Structure 1
Amino acid sequence: MYKPEEHNVICTVCPIGCRLTVIREEHEPDGYKVIGGVCKRGEKFGVKEVTDPTRTVTSTVAIEGGLLPRLPVRTEKDIPKHLNYELMKLISSVKLQAPVKIGEVVVANVFDTGVNVIATRSMRAVK
């Protein structure tokens, strides 16, 4: 007996955290049936999580000459999930020099995705 491809996903679109079951179904408009969500946003999330998972990455980088030793950063947009580990390795090698302004690009065009890593706070230089 044929059993369709099935994935269990927890939705992160809102704080409810619905447990979704995403089943491959050829006759559905987008090719998948989503069970367990309470809204349309959850259905879209479930299909995207199965077909093209992405994440916003947050971290910190070393900064010299600043008030603090680390500066918080994040990706401007989601990047493909399979790139997260490599991005974290890249971010761990970055060393900035203060001052840095919020929104300033720290790493441009990560792995040719068109997404930048930006500073999420300003850091003034300390003498």
Structure 2
Amino acid sequence: MKKFICIMCPKGCHLTVDEANDYQVSGHSCNKGVKYGKAEATHPVRVVTSTVLVEGGKTPLCSVKTADGIPKNLVLEAMKEINRVRLQAPVTIGDVAIKNLLNTGIDVVTTSEMKSA
């Protein structure tokens, strides 16, 4: 049995996932909890948010995030890759900072705009 607190809504239901019984979820108050509990027990993913350096911009940092969740076990390695990025101003929202991060098929995109200095 695995235990999680659901983050799909503000209720924060205390979920129990029974791996021996086809990942049966209990403790949920809606179907979102069932989906979250199964996913968290079988293949947990996280959206990673961070900043990258921008050269020639009005400020030195630009916010970025993964375009979708990546496997939880890759988060630390993903941060190493993100920390290597250097963008050149100008930057617009949605620019791809890293294509296909760690061969996950997920891009890292900018979430803020950066004008040239």
Q: TM-score, normalised by structure 1?
A: 0.88
Aligned length: 117
Q: What are the superposed Cα offsets for residues 48-86 of structure 1, whole Å, 9 maximum, x if unpaired?
A: 100000011100011111111110000111111111000
Q: Kindly, what percent of the aligned residue pairs are identical?
A: 46
1:24 is the counterpart of 2:19: yes
Letter paired with 2:48? V
Give ranges in structure 2 of 5+ residues lacking alignment: none
Structure 1 residue aligned with 2:47: 56
Quick check: which one's helix share is greater?
A: 2
CA root-mean-square deviation: 0.9
Structure 1 residue aligned with 2:3: 8
SS at match of 1:122: coil
Question: 1: CA distance between counterparts of 2:39 and 2:10?
Answer: 18
Task: List structure 1 runs of 4+ shifted beyond 2 angstroms.
Answer: none
Structure 1 residue aligned with 2:104: 113
Question: 1: CA distance between counterparts of 2:38 and 2:44?
Answer: 9
Q: TM-score, normalised by structure 2?
A: 0.95
Question: 2: CA distance between counterparts of 1:65 and 1:103?
Answer: 19
Letter paired with 2:55? E
Shift of 1:25: 3.7
Give ranges in structure 1 of 5+ residues lacking alignment: 1-5
